[in-house]
Amino acid sequence: MTLLPKQPLVEFDAVEFGYDVRQVLTQVSLRVMPGEVVAVMGASGGGKTTTLRLIGGQIRATAGRVCFDGRDVGAMRHAELYAARRRMGMLFQMGALFTDQTVFENVAFALREHTPLPESMIRDLALMKLNAVGLRGARDLYPAQLSGGMARRVALARAIALDPALVMYDEPFAGLDPISLGISARLIRTLNDALGLTSIVVSHDVDETFAIADRVFILGNGTLIADGTPAELRASADPLVHQFVRGEPDGPVSFHYPAAPLQTDFLGTQAGRR
């Protein structure tokens, strides 16, 4: 008996995307296999969040194919797209919790909308998800009463409420204190392994992300410039990867926004200054 090769859960095939005149992604091809924790990294405005929005079908590729579980997301009809989204969880950068609902109601929201389960079972399921992120005791709080780290953990509990196949994290570490950051990173890895998920993490934070990711994709100028395991990328001789991994100010990516020569601004005539 031969084992069939695993099919990628998410696949980008020569994907392009742009807003009006600005091209965001150019010829991006990548694969995410089931069970992996994959990181998408790169400079701000480099198209990282766009990749998540393409997978979720909130925007559609202008060229190429974005496939989820073998099906082209861009070609899905409304009902098919919503069926696919039930198998995805998304953690937004600031949590995006419903501010008029308690922590418990936020986590129970998708269960109430999509399942005919009785209220007692919804309660147990929501509390189990909250317990997994350590916030069972915060069930009656409103989002305004939570810290940034707690809000994102609640959002994570909400994202895994329907036991999705894929969880996408948009900047899960941004603005967190070191303790919350460490907790969040470990939680992503632990939940991925314990629940049999596949995770895509969009992040800037090299150390925390490299510590939990199986593979890392680095986007630069809208193209995929590197991919590999964290160890491979740390050892990479590519100057762009080297600069990104070590956070060096000088390298292929310039610290300065394009500007006129220094002489023009500081040593030129008064008339030339602005």
Partner 1 sequence: MSVVLGFLASIGFGTRRLLANLGYGLRLFLRLLALLPGALRRPQLIAQQVFFLGNYSLSIIAVSGLFVGFVLGLQGYYTLSRYGAANSLGLLVALSLVRELGPVVTALLFAGRAGTSLTAEIGLMKAGEQISAMEMMAVDPIARILAPRFVGGLITMPFLAAVFSAVGIVGGYVVGVLMIGVDSGAFWSQMQGGVDVFKDVGNGVVKSLVFGVAVTFVALYQGWRAQPTPEGVSRATTRTVVVASLAVLGLDFMLTALMFST
Tell me which residues touch partner 1 (CB under 8 A): 56, 58, 82-83, 85-86, 88-90, 92-94, 96-99, 109-110, 113-114, 155, 158, 162
Please give the Cα distance from 57 to 75 (Å, whole number).
10
Which C-beta is closer to partner 1: that of 191 or that of 233? Answer: 191
Shortest Cβ distance from residue 266 to partner 1 (Å)?
A: 35
Shortest Cβ distance from residue 208 to partner 1 (Å)?
A: 22
Which C-beta is closer to partner 1: that of 60 or that of 246? Answer: 60
Which C-beta is closer to partner 1: that of 92 or that of 180? Answer: 92
Q: What is the DSSP letter of 3?
A: P
Q: Give the rounded distance of the alpha carbon of 164 from its chain centre.
A: 15
Q: What is the DSSP string of 195-263?
A: HT-EEEEE-S-HHHHHHH-SEEEEEETTEEEEEE-HHHHHT---HHHHHHHHT-SSSSS-SSPS---HH
Shortest Cβ distance from residue 165 to partner 1 (Å)?
A: 13
Which C-beta is closer to partner 1: that of 97 or that of 181? Answer: 97
Shortest Cβ distance from residue 93 to partner 1 (Å)?
A: 7
261-270 long-range Cβ contacts below 8 angstroms, 24+ apart? none
